[in-house]
Amino acid sequence: METGLLSFGPLTLDLRAGHLTRDGQAVSLRSKAFAVLDQLARRPGEVVSKDALMAAVWPDVTVTEDSLTQAIRDIRRVLGPEARDRLRTVARRGYALHPDAAAPAPPKRPRIALLPLQRRSGGTEASDLIDGLIEEITIGLSRFRSLAVIARHSAFAAADEPGLDLPGIGARLGADYVMDGTAHLAGDQLRLSISLNDVATGEVIWAESLTCVGHRLLTLQDLVPRRIVQSLALSAAEGARRQQTSNPTAFAHYARAVSLQRQLTTEQERRAHDYLLAALRLDPDFALAHCLLARAEIALEGFGLSSRAARLRAREHAARAVELAPDEAQCLSMLGFVHCYLEDWQAAETLIRRAIAANPCLSDCLADMAFVCLCRGRPAESLTWLDRAEEINPLKPPAHDVLRSEALFAQGHFDAAARALASLPQLGIRQLVRLAAIHACAGDSEGVRRHLDRAFALDPAWDCVAAAERSYLFEHDRDRQHLLGAIRAALRLYAGDAV
């Protein structure tokens, strides 16, 4: 099972991506039923007891065997008559899953990175527009499952590293192809000169100059991916066009917001929020603008520190995005992300699984799945999803290190958890308190003192326990108490050290 793929007649279960397909099409299965299937698939041919399945799928929740029976019934329904007998009931013992031989590994997909375009004119607003457009093209390209597309964060980070030429950037990202070029914005006219380069040979596979005025700008996120796919002699039949606006000014506002949100500062998030509101004033039915505005509502108040009112506003926008674009992975995942903040765990996981089934190549969706698994008390699964996200986004954003640290802490790997969190380029007060808690668990009083000194220098009145109770999301109280107990232990060590 090295590939993580198991087949059942016409069905294929991808344990790493977390989805089930029939003849290549996603199959819907409720999250608890999928979790049961996952547990059985990881032990093919073995009898797994009912007690073991219930403990794994419903931890710390009292349910009857009826819940497990219903999940088994759901699994057999989706397996269908041709594969139903692969799931066997073993009287008084449990269940056993007998898949076909492990499905063969799929052929290696070409990896491609889209680099930032060199700007020949325009100020900050032009730069934000062009960078946002490249992200939209990147997401559009990710819908073609014959390609592995490097996330925009990693592509831009590698391009910013000094001394790297195109082959060096390709090697840094593990990319087979890179797209680069120039952009010239004058008034409402955007002129692009772009090329697709083979990293190994230096050969230019495809090059084109495009001039866009007004509404033609709206075609780029569909046109450029198809040109790339066709130049690589891959099928362009897949990759349905993303839901967009017909208003070029609304799209320009949206593209600027996309770029600003990636800069991860409160001021840029506020500017992105304003651009998204402006886009929606021009086109109230612009689904992707609603999607990003949902994130902005929570981000502006510090994510975990956000008020319930902000979270409800976020849900309103995310739900509207899914209503307008029900098959758009980014919108589905955002609504699931918001449901986490409202502690509606089942809905959150179901929506994010739907997003991954719609597009398994979006790093943000995979990271959202890592987040929901962590919140639900499944740190090992969270790390698996995070690894998947970082295959696409190898020069990972800081949020990935935070998630990794929290998952490692939940598993009791304190040294690794501290290293992951300490690698952040900038530590805020919550990260400093968390580091102190990790060092307390490891018995390192010097580490506790060092980090709490820095935390209280930022805010001497900071209530470490109350802030943690409010800002961290947990489905199970045992996980919350594990963190709060570590913070209290750090504070005791710190108080004793001060005396």
pLDDT tens-digit readout, 141-178: 887 777 888 988 898 899 888 888 888 998 899 998 89
Structure tokens at 60: 């710390």
Cα dihedral value 206, 207, 213, 214, nearest 10: 30
List beta partners, residue 185: 190
Please give the CATH architecture assigned to the domain spanning 111-227.
3-Layer(aba) Sandwich (3.40)
Render the burial of 244-259: b for 16+ CB within 10 Å, e for the rest.
bbebbebbbbbbbbbb
Task: Classify domain 243-359 at the CATH superfamily level.
Answer: Tetratricopeptide repeat domain (1.25.40.10)
pLDDT at 236: 45
Pairing of strands 47-49, 25-26: unpaired
pLDDT at 216: 66
State how far the alpha carbon of 430 is from the alpha carbons of 263, 330, 434, 466, 470, in Å. 20, 28, 6, 11, 12
Of the pLDDT bands very low, low, confident and very high (cuts 50, 70, 90), residue 124 is low
Average of per-residue pLDDT values in the chain: 84
Task: Identify the DSSP state of 159.
Answer: H
Residue 354 has pLDDT above 50, yes or no: yes
| HSE-CB for 89 with a 13 A CA cutoff | 9
Structure tokens at 361: 């190549």
Q: Among 417, 423, 432, 429, which Cα is nearest to 395's?
A: 423
Q: Which tens digit of pLDDT belongs to each residue from 320-337?
A: 999 998 888 899 999 999
Please give the CATH architecture assigned to the domain spanning 5-97.
Orthogonal Bundle (1.10)
Work out the average pLDDT over 199-204.
87
pLDDT at 229: 77
CA dist 449 and 427 (Å) reads 15
CA dist 159 and 115 (Å) reads 7
Q: Among 415, 403, 375, 352, which Cα is nearest to 19's?
A: 352
What percent of the chain shows pLDDT beyond 90?
34
Work out the average pLDDT over 283-311.
93
pLDDT at 243: 61
Structure tokens at 441: 């668990």
Q: Among 72, 112, 118, which Cα is nearest to 94's?
A: 72
Q: Domain ranges for the chain, please list them.
A: 5-97, 111-227, 243-359
Cβ-contact 330, 355 below 8 angstroms: yes
pTM: 0.75
Query: What type of residue is 184?
Result: H
pLDDT at 498: 46
Cβ-contact 256, 281 below 8 angstroms: no
pLDDT at 292: 93
pLDDT at 353: 87
Task: Identify the DSSP state of 109.
Answer: P
Of the pLDDT bands very low, low, confident and very high (cuts 50, 70, 90), residue 92 is confident
Q: Among 44, 210, 68, 190, which Cα is nearest to 120's?
A: 190
Work out the average pLDDT over 210-227.
73
Task: Return the top range by mean pLDDT from 77-81, 195-199, 219-223, 234-238.
Answer: 195-199
Q: Based on the number of CB atoms within 10 Å of its own CB, is 171 exposed (0-12), middle (13-18) or buried (19 or more)? A: middle
List beta partners, residue 13: 6, 20
